[in-house]
Amino acid sequence: NSVIPPAVQHLTVEVSAADGQYLAQAKWDTPRVVKGVRFSLRLTSGSGEGSRLVTTAITADTEHRSSGLPLGEYTLTV
């Protein structure tokens, strides 16, 4: 049996800085709870063809932290 994953809603990201490095704390929710669901995250920097993958993660939580980030423009996909 396959399960259709719930849509991600209300994605927010709070950014804080310390010693020239940045921490991004992302949080989101879903319209319903699905047992065993895991979220795939991709953090990229830049935009368009010049974008590059910074990190990926898989989590069962509805929040994730990315630390040690230099100043820049990022896109988080959940």
Predicted local confidence at residue 1, as pLDDT: 59
Q: How confident is the model at residue 77 (pLDDT cuts 50, 70, 90)?
A: very high
pTM of the model as a whole: 0.82
Predicted local confidence at residue 48, as pLDDT: 82
Question: Would you kindly state where each structural domain of the chain is located, as residue ranges?
Answer: 9-77
* Of 16 and 50, more confident: 16
Mean pLDDT of all residues in 49-53:
91
DSSP string for 6-57 = PPPEEEEEEEEEETTEEEEEEEEE-SS--TT--EEEEEEES-GGG-EEEEEE
Mean pLDDT of all residues in 48-69:
93
For 40, the token pair is 């795939």
Q: Which CATH number fits domain 9-77: 2.102.10, 2.30.30, 1.10.3720, 2.60.40?
A: 2.60.40
Instruction: Determine phi and psi for 49, rounding to 5 degrees.
Output: -70, -20
* Residue listed under structure tokens 């230099």: 70
For 18, the token pair is 């310390």
Check if the beta carbon of residue 43 is closer than 8 Å to that of residue 66: yes
Mean pLDDT of all residues in 53-74:
94
